[in-house]
Structure 1
Amino acid sequence: MIMRKIIYIFIFGFIGGILRGYFTFIAGNNHFIATIIINILGSFLLALMTGILPKIMKLSEALISGISMGLIGGFTTFSTFSFDSITLLINHEIGLGVLYILVSLLGGLIFASLGNSLGNLIISRGESK
C-alpha cells in the first residue's frame, strides 16, 4: 500500500512538474504571472478534485494521494512563490512584492473555496437525480 502510494506520487508528480514547466516556459519573461496563475489554478483543482473524486469514483487512497500530492503538488510552485516574494522584497520592490504575496495567498484561498463549492454543487446535483 505504501509503495503504491509512493509510486503514484512519483508518477503524478512528474506529470505535474512537466505541466508547470510548460506553463512557465510559455509565459516567458512573465514568470511572476505564471506562478500566480499556476498556484491559484492548483488551489482550485486541489479543492475540487479531493472533494469530488472520492465521491463520484471508487479510487484508492494511494491514487488520491498521487493526484493531490503528486499532480497538484508537482504543478504548484510554493518554492518559486517564496523565492520570488523574497527577491522582490530584497530588491526594494516592496509594493510589487506585497501585491504578489496578497494576490497569491488571497487568490489561492478564494479559488480553493470556489473549487470546493463547485465540487459540492456537482455532488448535490448528482444526488438529486
Structure 2
Amino acid sequence: MKQAFLVFLGGGFGSVIRYWISKPLNPLFHNFFLGTFLVNIIGCLLIGLFLGLTARGNVISSNNTLFLATGFCGGFTTFSAFAFEKHSLLKNGDFLNLAIYLISSIGIGVLAVVLGLWIAKHI
C-alpha cells in the first residue's frame, strides 16, 4: 500500500507541474505545442537520470524510484496529450508540423533518456 501511495503522490506532483508548464507555453507557437514537448523531453531526461541512479545501487531507494520515476515522471509526461495534439495537426492537414513534431519528440526524447543515463553514470 505504501508503494501505491508513493506513486499516487509523485503522479500528483508531476501532473501539477506539467499543468504549470504546459498551460502558458502551449499557446505560444501556432501548431507546435511547446509546453507538451518540453515536459515530455524533460521527463525523458529525468527518467533516464532516476533509473540510471537506481541502477548504480544505493543512490536512490526502490521507494524513491517509485515516487520519482513511476509517479512523478508518469504524471509529468503525457502521451495522451501528445497523441491528441498530433491528431489535431493531422485533422487540420498540417502534415509538415505533424512530421516535425513527431520526429523531434521521439528522437530528442530518446536522446534525453540516454543523456540522463549518462549523467547518472558520471556523477
Residue 112 to residue 72, structure 1, CA distance change in 2 (3 Å): same
Cα distance, 1:23–1:88 mapped onto 2, change above 3 Å: same
- CA spacing shift, 1:97–1:109, aligned 2, 3 Å: same
**Residues 1:93 and 1:58: Cα distance change in structure 2 (over 3 Å):** closer
Task: Output one character per residue of 1:25-49: Cα deviation in whole Å (capped at 9) or x when no partner.
Answer: 2315137011111101100000001
What code does the residue aligned with 2:6 have?
Y
Instruction: Please provide the CA RMSD for this pair.
Output: 1.6
Match of 1:83 in 2: 84
Which residue number corresponds to residue 18 of structure 2? Answer: 20
Question: What amino acid sits opposite 2:59 in the alignment?
Answer: M
State the distance in 2 between where 1:58 and 1:70 align: 14
Does the aligned pair in 1 maintain the 2:26–2:34 contact within 8 Å?
no
| Aligned residues between the structures | 119
TM-score (norm 2): 0.89
Q: Distance in 2 between matches of 1:36 and 1:28?
A: 9
Between 1:113-122 and 1:20-29, the stretch displaced more is 20-29
> Per the alignment, in what secondary structure is the counterpart of residue 90 of structure 2?
helix
Would the aligned equivalents of 2:23 and 2:35 in 1 still touch at CA under 8 Å? no
Aligned equivalents of 2:18 and 2:38: distance in 1? 10
Q: Hey, what does 2:43 align to over in structure 1?
A: 42
Specify the code of the residue in structure 2 equivalent to 1:117.
W
CA distance in 2, matches of 1:107, 1:58: 25
Listed as ranges, the matches of 1:1-129 within 5 Å are 3-27=1-25, 29-30=27-28, 32-53=33-54, 55-57=57-59, 59=61, 61-122=62-123
Q: Which runs of 5+ in 2 are unaligned?
A: none
Instruction: Tell me the distance in 1 between the aligned counterparts of 2:58 and 2:99.
Output: 40
Q: What are the ranges of 5 or more consecutive residues in structure 1 without an aligned counterpart?
A: 123-129
Instruction: Compute the TM-score of the two structures, normalised by the length of structure 1.
Output: 0.85
